[in-house]
Amino acid sequence: MTNWQTYRDLFPHLGEQIYLNHAAIAPMNLRAQQAILDFMAQRLGKNIEFWPDALENKSYFIERVAQLIHGFADKIAITANTSAGLNILANGLDWKRGDRILLIDFEFPSNVIPFLNLQRHGVEIDFVKNRDGIIAIDDILENIYPRTRLLSISFVEFLNGFRNDLKRIGEICREHDLIFSVDAIQGLGALQLDVQDCQIDFLACGGHKWLMWPQGLAFAYISPRIFDRLHPAQAGWMSLEVPFDFFNYRQPFSPTARRFESGGFSTISIQAATATLDMMLDIGIVQIEQKILSNSQFLIKKIGEMGLKLYTVPTPKHLSGIVTFFHPHAEKLFEYLKQNHITVSLREGKIRLSPHFYHNEGDLQQFLDVLSRFKNRN
């Protein structure tokens, strides 16, 4: 049995506010803080020339990421954000005029703009239209054409928390010989994901939301199936097989995903992210998912009882950590919640909630109580 209070104690902001906005940016925790302090203590004088240790720390971090996604460590590259990761894919393939890419018209721009940018090469972009926030498998199938080469979709849609059926979509992509790309930022850290089971060819994920890493740290996963088809669109000294062989300019690229990393990386961010990732893996992603989905189900039930309309799809297989609902006075409610030290998101005129594993029903009930008071006032 998980002692959730032990982990709640690592989030001191709980004494000041109810933060229900992990789909935007996550708070830090005390383990991450200590990792940063330890790192700074070393860099202040004990270990100024820290680069060998930094490379070892990075290697360990990548191994833990591989464990999280059930992928291969040598196929994971460090990036700065999700967009940077998706640009590795978009700009690393050889495109021909008339090739097509299939996207969803309900995506955060990070999973659209890198591919739209390829239109200058004559690549055609097709969009699957959402059905009031639902991405239907039949609609995906109907938009696959003979020249379609790639499909990119989110693990979880950012606005309403719709969890896509990645396993079925992966099967469709293999059946049609498509590259299957996933933007995982709104799911990873909250939900289980197996890149091999879902037959994902490329995955990009920033860490500042559900993974609770510092902003500016992300990763990309490239499957063995497409690894050799992807060229480093941006290359630098760290892309090479032996980076410290400085004057050997013509040496080959690294045989690992490091070939997609052009230079240095945020060493301090990796310290904090590793501490947090270790914590989450120690808890267990299965347990974290169960806790988060339990929170979502609790909110869905209570919000429905208050007569408010959900934008989130409550079907269990499509449920995630995001719960979004309509409100006739959404902007006023957003400000009222803020005044009462409750942080949520106002997105497209709707209220979006995204509590994490360390929240309990007491936290959620505080939000519901403020929501009820607002209702009585208006």
The verdict on 84 and 99 lying in the same domain is yes
- Domain with residue 226: its CATH number is 3.40.640.10
Any idea what the Cα angle at residue 8 is, between residues 3 and 10, rounded to 5°? 115
Total domains present in the chain: 2
What pLDDT shows up at residue 176? Answer: 98
The residue to which tokens 């609790």 are assigned: 298
Q: Which run of H or of E encompasses 352?
A: strand 350-353
Residue 25 lies in a domain: no
Tokens, residue 248: 């050997």
Domain, as residue range, for 189: 33-281
CA dist., res. 78 & res. 58, Å (int): 9
Tokens, residue 192: 């289980």
- Domain with residue 291: its CATH number is 3.90.1150.10
Residue 26 lies in a domain: no
Looking at 218, 247, 281, which one is the last position of a domain? 281
What pLDDT shows up at residue 46? Answer: 84
The verdict on 226 and 335 lying in the same domain is no
Residue 366 lies in a domain: yes
Residues in the chain where the model's pLDDT stays below 70: 378
What pLDDT shows up at residue 378? Answer: 65
Residue 56 lies in a domain: yes
CB 246 within 8 Å of CB 13: no
The verdict on 295 and 249 lying in the same domain is no
The verdict on 255 and 211 lying in the same domain is yes
Residue 238 lies in a domain: yes
The verdict on 93 and 126 lying in the same domain is yes
What pLDDT shows up at residue 51? Answer: 87
